[in-house]
């Protein structure tokens, strides 16, 4: 089934990506993690997205998220839900095989930790996908939180 024309410029994200990353944030110990990202399509004007991570030292599950990528009027949109009770809407720009996103809205369940802003930069070079995520949360200003290098399976 062909990729919908509206999201064809994002087709470079399709597939299963796996690799390793590093994270840190105030009041937390730095950590290294493994990650698998899956991006798929069903012929509609969106791409499905799922990510799961695990600790490299003992394999315990860490974070996961699910969402959808869209491309409308030259703007990239990403809607993501987290099991921590956070839902984010991001908007940004596509430049070739690079995407730069920032939240336009963050919603939280009553028991979720406060997250006020997220920014993601992704870049695809051949079979390598790299990203950096910055976050403002729990009374901390926007700052580096995660980065990873993933290869297409």
Per residue in 88-115, pLDDT (tens digit) is 999 999 999 999 999 999 999 999 999 9
All domains of the chain, ordered by start, with CATH?
A: 5-17+30-112 (2.40.128.20)
pLDDT at residue 43, as a whole number: 97
Rg (CA), the chain: 15
With a pLDDT cut of 90, the percent of the chain lying above it is 98
Interval 56-83 mean pLDDT: 97
Residues in contact with 148: Cβ distance below 8 Å, sequence separation at least 6, in sequence order: 19, 20, 21, 22, 33, 35, 130, 131
Distance between CA atoms of residues 126 and 151, nearest Å: 9
Q: How far from the centroid of its chain's Cα atoms is residue 66's Cα?
A: 9
Q: Tell me the average pLDDT of the chain.
A: 98
pLDDT of residue 42: 96
Residue 100: burial class (beta carbons within 10 Å; 0-12, 13-18, 19+): middle
Burial of 84 (0-12, 13-18, 19+ CB in 10 A): middle
Could you give the angle at the alpha carbon of 12 between the alpha carbons of 7 and 14, nearest 5°? 80
Q: State phi, psi for 45 to the nearest 5 degrees.
A: -80, 45
Distance separating alpha carbons of residues 49 and 67, to the nearest angstrom: 5
Residue 91 is predicted with a pLDDT of: 99
Provide the pLDDT confidence category of residue 137 given band limits of 50, 70 and 90: very high
Residues above pLDDT 70, as percent of the chain: 100
In this structure, are residues 67 and 76 in contact, taking their beta carbons and an 8 Å threshold?
Answer: no
**120-141 mean pLDDT:** 98
């Amino acid at each position: 089934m062909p990729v919908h024309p509206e999201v064809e410029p994002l087709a470079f994200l399709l597939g299963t990506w796996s690799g390793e990353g590093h994270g840190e944030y105030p009041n937390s110990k730095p950590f290294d993690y493994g990650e698998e990202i899956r991006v798929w399509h069903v012929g509609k004007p969106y791409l499905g997205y799922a990510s799961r991570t695990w600790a490299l030292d003992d394999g315990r599950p860490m974070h996961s998220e699910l969402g959808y990528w869209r491309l409308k009027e030259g703007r990239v949109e990403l809607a993501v839900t987290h099991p921590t009770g956070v839902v984010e809407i991001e908007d940004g720009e596509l430049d070739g095989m690079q995407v730069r996103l920032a939240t336009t809205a963050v919603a939280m369940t009553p028991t979720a930790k406060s997250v006020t802003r997220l920014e993601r930069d992704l870049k695809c070079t051949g079979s390598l996908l790299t990203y950096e995520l910055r976050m403002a949360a729990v009374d901390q200003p926007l700052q580096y939180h995660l980065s990873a290098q993933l290869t297409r399976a």
